[in-house]
């Protein structure tokens, strides 16, 4: 069976819609998949200042971790230091991945990309 590595799901959302408790990837088609997926890391960039915003990532009710934005300005290029690795977390077929806003950005949008392997 072929393996695809890369971005599993991503979003760029304006600060006005990213209120505390909102799932930042709620409208993304790849939030769920019919395939087995493993989350291996993610990037959170944007916002008005470094560490201004935070998201809690879940696979259904399994807590993957809390992640903060590593640099401000969503239009900036992603750098290797922006990648935040995690111990591989399995997302069974049909399971939803969520990125719940814990601390909302004040003005600027956020770009969130969840990386992994899909089988």
What tens digit of pLDDT does each residue of 66-94 get?
999 998 876 666 788 889 999 999 999 99
Q: What is the pLDDT of residue 114?
A: 95
Instruction: Using the predicted structure, report yes or no on whether residue 1 has a pLDDT greater than 60.
Output: no
Longest dimension (CA), the chain: 44
Beta strand 62-68 with 110-118: parallel, antiparallel or unpaired?
A: unpaired
Instruction: Using the predicted structure, report yes or no on whether residue 3 has a pLDDT greater than 90.
Output: no
**Count of the separate structural domains present in the chain:** 1
Q: Is the dihedral of CA 37, 9, 7, 59 positive or negative?
A: negative
Q: What is the pLDDT of residue 107?
A: 84
100 pLDDT band (50/70/90 cuts)?
A: very high
CATH number of the domain residue 53 falls in? 2.60.120
Mean pLDDT to the nearest integer, 104-119: 90
Q: Look up the domain containing 48 and give its range.
A: 4-118
Instruction: Using the predicted structure, report yes or no on whether residue 44 has a pLDDT greater than 80.
Output: yes
Q: What is the pLDDT of residue 2?
A: 53
DSSP state of 65: E
12 pLDDT band (50/70/90 cuts)?
A: confident
Mean pLDDT to the nearest integer, 28-54: 93
């Amino acid at each position: 069976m072929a393996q695809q590595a890369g971005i599993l799901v991503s979003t760029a959302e304006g600060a006005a819609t990213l209120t505390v408790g909102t799932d930042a990837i709620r409208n993304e088609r790849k939030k769920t998949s019919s395939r087995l997926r493993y989350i291996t890391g993610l990037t959170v960039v944007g916002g008005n200042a470094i560490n201004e915003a935070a998201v809690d990532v879940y696979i259904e009710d399994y807590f993957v971790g809390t992640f903060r934005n590593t640099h401000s300005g969503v239009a900036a290029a992603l750098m290797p230091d922006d990648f935040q690795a995690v111990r591989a977390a399995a997302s069974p077929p049909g399971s939803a991945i969520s990125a719940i806003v814990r601390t909302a950005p004040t003005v600027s949008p956020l770009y969130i990309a969840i990386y992994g392997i899909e089988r």
